[in-house]
A and B are shown apart, each in its own frame.
With several copies, the nearest count.
Chain A
Amino acid sequence: MRLREYEAKQLFRESGIPTPEGKVIRYAEEIFANKIYPCTLKTQVLTGGRGKLGGIQFADDPNDAYKKAQDIFALEIKGDMPEAILVEPKVNIKREIYVSILIDRAYRGPIIMAAAEGGVEIESSDSIQIVPITGGNYSSYLGRKMATQLGLTGKDVLKFGNIVNRLWDVYTKNDCDLVEINPLIVDGDGNFVALDGKITINEDSLGRQPRFDGMLGAHLTDLGEREFKGKMCDLNIVELEGNIGILCNGAGLTMATMDLVFHHGGKPSNFLDVGGGANKDHVTRALDLVASDEEVKVLLVNILGGITDCVEVANALKHYKEIRPKANLVVRLVGNNEEAAQKIMNDAGITMTNVLDDAVKQAVAVAA
């Protein structure tokens, strides 16, 4: 779950990372409470690249600021309307640095990633430095080590190290996947300040981070309508352009099935992984979700029951067929409790296909 800038900065401040003294406004008129000029107005959207699209403006006086706030509130950034504007005093930037903490597969644990120059194109930068936090055991010297790798010297080593100490606190305390300060600036007085920040909370950890309760929905602006609905009931759906609805269990099998649909000349309208251990109700919700797409000509169900009980899936399919007797349905259902499921399907009049290639070819033929 990616947080907005002002939310990230709130967590920064709680852990002692300096940020500009900002104010969040939700109506343009609130700008008149701002007393410090020149100021920066930043649209609070989740998508990146807002600066280039006009989402960040500077204002020298209240009238100027009011006009710009109105503009920003009316500005859609890649389909995302701002829910707020963050107003901050304009700061004097002597230097920009990039720094983040995230889990890295290759290092089998968290790493500190930083670059001596901040900026939006950091992913492609050659100057990225890495300091692994082996086994998740952090100690202050790791932040200072990064400081020296960045070429910082003197008091800046301690100042930067101190920022990383606090960033580690943010990272662990909130079960983050990523905490990033970009840019971390050095201001005119030599202080290190987080000018912009990005935090992604690990979604598997939300259940033990009560402070984020109920916040997920408002932080998923980059999803399509069905994708959003799916997410809200733990169904992982990705919308595609075709007319074959795919419902599988497990990411690998779902991807393989999608690949196979393309391979046999079909076009999937979506990709839906119901996950492990889905019961009848969950599968029913998944079926309804796919069926709600009017482009779907045929629904291809491919379930291999391991932790998923085939009987639960069969009952959901039976229910689906009862409601939509004319829907095109190609079903492959194999695995734990397969015989009992077979019986339910027979009784419901749903034919099953045993071989995956056959099932996919059949679905492609129906959809063509």
Chain B
Amino acid sequence: MSVLINKDTKVIVQGITGGMGKTHTELMQAYGTNIVGGVTPGKGGQEVCGVPVFDSVSEAVEKTGANCSVIFVPPYLALDAALEAIDAGVPLISVITEGLPPQDAVKLHAAAEKKGVLVNGPNCPGIITPGECLIGIHPGSIYMPGRVGLISRSGTLTYEIGLGLKQAGIGLSTAVGIGGDPIIGIDQKISLKLFEEDPDTDIIILVGEIGGTAEEEAAEYIKTNIKKPVIGYIAGRTAPPGKRMGHAGAIISGGKGTAESKQKAFEAAGVQVAVTPSEIVELVKQVLPAMSV
């Protein structure tokens, strides 16, 4: 079992004919993801990566029965692409695209909420259920299947932790890369709820970073809603205040969004906090035997 995606997920790729779309379609296919088609307006009728390309999402859904879309289109076209997928009734959409203007993101998420559509991202690595299905840009080979749920704001840091766990022989039920943008769809709370309800997830790892108050809110949520053990990590403990850290723009400003505040919130919610990525693995190892008792 897993959350959000599994071996039965039928995926279409919006922007499949672009360089990035094509490359990652091949990687997803190599991983075993059931890519049933692609969408590039104006290129319908072609075949790319062995799957048909359609001019519209509704046509793709109708002809393939797709229930998930991964979006690789350029930033200024991503809102329209996502609205198209929402309108076509796709229940799960992963927007990989980085650099979506925030005013577009607001419209995207408002439309998704209205229709009850789950949107992963934007600016995210996607989701992987190891051994079953990969949507997005995760390097599939560095994860193994197992019973740990992973939630992360950062893409590459997700890989880091997946790899560390694999090297320790620990696998994941699903890894959800929720994305680093200020406004995202599937957030920490939604992911926590899904993992709590998933019978095949035993432990949850929550990887946060400085900036915003999402971790504090997640900690509040954990207090009352999550019974499974949660292990937390916060990137950016040593970041200088007032500087945008990296492309995702994590920032400590006005004394808000600090690692200390997040760590305290985690601890108050009973979340064990790791100081380094490898410590996460150690903590999981400690919790796992306790659970098998």
Contact = CB atoms under 8 A, between A and B. Distances in A.
Which of B111, B141, B247 has the largest count of A CB atoms less than 10 A from its CB? B247
Contacts of A148: 44, 54-56, 58-59
B214 A255 contact: no
Interface residues on B, range: 35 or more
A139 interface: yes
Contacts of A277: 20
Given A109-B106, A251-B180, A255-B239, A154 B276 contact: no
A264 to B, nearest CB: 9
B156 A204 contact: no
B80 A202 contact: no
A357 B155 contact: no
A105 B215 CA distance: 12
Contacts of A250: 154-157, 246-248
Interface of B (DSSP majority class): mixed
Given A135-B110, A252-B157, A105 B250 contact: no
A265 interface: no
A110 B159 CA distance: 32
B103 A236 contact: no
Contacts, number: 239
Interface string A147-162: 1100011110110010
Interface string A333-350: 011101000000000000
Contacts of A336: 27, 137, 139
Contacts of B44: 148, 153-154, 157
Interface of B: 20, 23-24, 27, 41-45, 54-59, 75-76, 79-81, 83-84, 87, 96, 98-103, 106-107, 109-111, 125, 136-139, 141-142, 152-160, 163-164, 167, 180, 182-183, 207, 209-210, 212-214, 217, 235-240, 243-250, 254, 275-278
24 contacts: A139-B83, A157-B56, A202-B102, A205-B101, A208-B76, A238-B244, A250-B155, A250-B157, A253-B160, A253-B235, A254-B246, A256-B277, A260-B276, A262-B237, A262-B238, A303-B156, A304-B139, A306-B136, A306-B137, A307-B125, A335-B142, A335-B159, A338-B139, A357-B278
